[in-house]
Amino acid sequence: MLILSALPARSHPPPAAIRDKHEESSPGTLVAFELQGFEWYRLQPDNMELVDKVFRVPFLIAVALAIAFGGGILSAIWALQASAGFGAIRLGVWHAFPEAQTASADPYARSHRARAGRLLYGSAEGLVFTATEDPQGRRLNTGCTYRLHGRTPTARTWTLYAANAAGRPLPTPAALPSSFNARTVLRHQDGGFEILVSPEPQPGNWLALPQTGSFSLVLTLLDTPAAGSSGLIGLDMPELERIGCDNG
């Protein structure tokens, strides 16, 4: 860093006087040079590293604080969006958080619930299962056709719909079937059912998909013994399989 001091040669005092004037406030070496017929003087500090540190250290501290605060905020937001809390259970492709809506919910579950703005069910009222991948670990995509078949655990009733990343129902046209429940689904003689989840019309139980990319299936069991049971791992859930996709 350079500290400049320049005076025309015709109007300045002798160089010694200039040097004495500058040395009173800023130690350094006075360097003379000519420019456009005038003689100019430049005061160059002897310790350039010290001058650089005066400006460099505060700048580095500011950058470090910005990274620390920014990284902390972003990591907290990512954690809230990536998980609904601890205590998850997984049954095949389905997963649920039985304690997410109870008084014993962990801080992540409470924050996730507050951010989503949802009215969740109590432990004795219901249980929400979500499927985001097929059995091979591939993300569910609205360009594919899926077959959901089997039975649901014992419940007074249940609902099924396709949702976006925020958990809200996909924007399906009103004339198309966008959800099913225990009363509207067509069943086999043994009580089981088969639902085809597809963007194209399908025979029987068809759950229509708009072309929006990734999605999830949300199965809600209402007034079910499973919600307050410790034997959730042994529940039989509907099975999901991918039949095909538009892109092959």
Instruction: Quote the pLDDT of residue 24.
Output: 47
Q: Distances in Å between the alpha carbon of 95 and those of 35, 46, 73, 220? A: 78, 68, 28, 11
CA atoms within 13 A on the CB side of 30: 18
Instruction: Report the pLDDT value the prediction gives residue 97, as an integer from 0 to 100.
Output: 76
Amino acid at 140: L
Q: Where are the domains of the chain?
A: 53-84, 89-245
User: Residue 209: phi, psi to the nearest 5?
Assistant: -120, 130
CA dist., res. 161 & res. 185, Å (int): 12
Angle among Cα 138, 144, 147 to the nearest 5 degrees reads: 85
- Which segments of the chain have a pLDDT < 70? 1-55, 75-88, 99-124, 226-234, 247-248
Structure confidence at residue 22 (pLDDT): 45
Give the pLDDT score at 69. Answer: 82
Is there a contact between 227 and 127 (Cβ–Cβ < 8 Å)?
yes
Predicted local distance difference test score (pLDDT) of residue 122: 64
d(CA 185, CA 148): 12
Enter the tokens of residue 181.
């429940």
Tens of pLDDT, residues 40-70: 656 555 555 555 666 677 778 888 888 888 8
Query: Measured in whole angstroms, how far is the alpha carbon of residue 197 from the centre of its chain?
Result: 27
Which pLDDT score is estimated for 102?
57
* Counts of helices then strands in the chain (DSSP H, E): 3, 13
Mention every residue, 6+ apart, whose C-beta is less than 8 A from residue 12. Answer: 18, 39, 41
What's the pLDDT score for residue 163?
94
Q: Which CATH class is domain 89-245?
A: mainly beta
* Model confidence pLDDT, tens digit, residues 109-139: 666 555 555 556 666 677 889 999 999 999 9
Which pLDDT does position 183 carry in this prediction? 94
